[in-house]
Homo-oligomer: A and B are copies of this chain.
Amino acid sequence: MEISKAEFEVMNAVWQGAPCTAADVVARLDNQTDWHEKTVKTLLNRLVKKGALGFDKDGRRYLYKPLFGRDEYRIKESTSLLNRLFDGRVSPLVSAFASRKQLSQQDIEELKDLIKQWEQTND
C-alpha cells in the first residue's frame, strides 16, 4: 500500500488527533494548504480505500481513525529510503550529512546521547 504526498498530509492531520471528522481534517489542513474541502474529502476516501484509514459512523458523518501509527509509517519510509540509497544502514546516511557539513553541534550531542542510551540498554 502506497500513500501519495497529498494523502500523507491528510494522514498527518488525522494523526494529530483521532478519531476526527472530515471537517476536523479540513480545518487542520487549512493552515498548511489551500485545498478545497472537496479535495480533502477525495483524499479521505482514497485513504479509506487503500486501508490507511478506517472510520466509525456517527449519524451520517464518519469518524476517521488511522489504521497504522505515525511511527510505524516513519520506520517504513525510512527503511525504504535507506535501502534505496544507503545500503540499508543508518550510518552511511549520517556520514553523507556529515561530509556535507550538514550536521550541527546539537545533532552531534543528540547522537551521543542516543548512543549512550543504547549502550546502557544493550550492553
- By a beta-carbon cutoff of 8 Å, the part of chain A in contact with chain B is 8, 71, 73-75, 77-79, 81, 84-86, 89-91, 93-98, 100, 102-103, 105, 107-108, 110-112, 114-115, 117-119, 122
Residues A78 and B81 in contact in the complex (CB < 8 Å), given A90-B103, A114-B94: yes
A104 to chain B, nearest CB (A): 8
Q: State the Cβ distance, A62 to closest chain B Cβ, in Å.
A: 26
State the number of copies, please: 2
Q: A71-B96, A96-B71 are in contact. Are A90 and B78 (CB under 8 A)?
A: no
By DSSP majority rule, is chain A's interface helix, strand, loop, or mixed?
helix
Please determine whether B111 and A115 come into contact, CB atoms closer than 8 angstroms.
yes
Quick one: which of B73, B93, B98, B115 contacts A117, CB cutoff 8 A?
B98
Q: Assess the B84–A111 pair: CB atoms within 8 A.
A: no
Which residues of B are found within 8 Å of A75, using beta-carbon distances? 96-97, 100, 102
Contact of A90 with B107 at beta-carbon distance under 8 Å, contacts A84-B8, A112-B115, A118-B98 already known: yes
